[in-house]
Every structure is written in C-alpha cells, then in structure tokens.
Amino acid sequence: MTERLARLRIRRGTGGEPPSYEEFAVPFEDGATLLDALIWIRTRRDPTLAIRYSCINGNVCKECTIAIDGAVDYACTTRLRTDRVVTLDPLPGKNQLRDLVSEMRPPRERLK
C-alpha cells in the first residue's frame, strides 16, 4: 500500500520579502489536523518553519489562526486532506513576522 500524502504549500519568509511558497508532503493519518501536519514538518523536515500555537487542540487560545486557501481558520481544528494541495498563509491584514506567524499581540502588549 502506498503511503497517503497530504500536500501543503506554505508561505515562507518575513514580511519585508517578496512572497515565496514552499511545498511539503506530509504522511496522512485519519483525523489528523493541519496543526498536526505543521508540527510534523517542524520535527521531521524543517525546524525553521515558524508557526504559532499554544493550546494545541482545545480551540481556546486562537493562536494558530491562519489563512487556509485564503479563508481564515484555526489550524488545530481544520482537518488535513489529500485530494488537493492546500495553500497556507499568515493572517491577512496583519504584519507577517515570519512564515505563518503574524503579529497578533494587541498594540499595548508590544514592547514597541
């Protein structure tokens, strides 16, 4: 049996750079989420991939909010799919810090 793969096209780089994307293939498991896949990439493929998350799968911290094929959603509650490539971007309208991480701190909670 061939391994089922989910393909993710992920925005890389920092806000000041021209947009670039990198594609990763991730082994698919039933029920797995996008956040599972992103953590898998960080551990097995590329530890430099920047993502934000805290509660992991409680859907309470809202930190893993990103744009999934252009629609804003939580990586921790969106299921992984194998039928097509899924494109991931940081939140639109926010400063991109690196890769999928955008500035989410309220202005008064920033150092500067």
Name the residues that contact other proteins, by CB under 8 A.
14, 29-33, 42-43, 47-51, 53-63, 74, 76-77, 79, 97-98, 101, 103-106, 108-112
Question: Cβ of residue 17: shortest distance to other proteins, in angstroms?
Answer: 12
Alpha-carbon distance of 68 to 51, in angstroms, equals 13
User: In terms of CB distance, is 5 or 79 closer to other proteins?
Assistant: 79
User: In terms of CB distance, is 9 or 42 closer to other proteins?
Assistant: 42
Question: Cβ of residue 107: shortest distance to other proteins, in angstroms?
Answer: 11
User: In terms of CB distance, is 25 or 56 closer to other proteins?
Assistant: 56
Question: Cβ of residue 65: shortest distance to other proteins, in angstroms?
Answer: 11
Is residue 37 within 8 Å of residue 20, measured between CB atoms? no
HEC string of 8-63 equals: EEEEECCCCCCCEEEEEEEECCCCCEHHHHHHHHHHHCCCCCCCCCCCCCCCCCCC
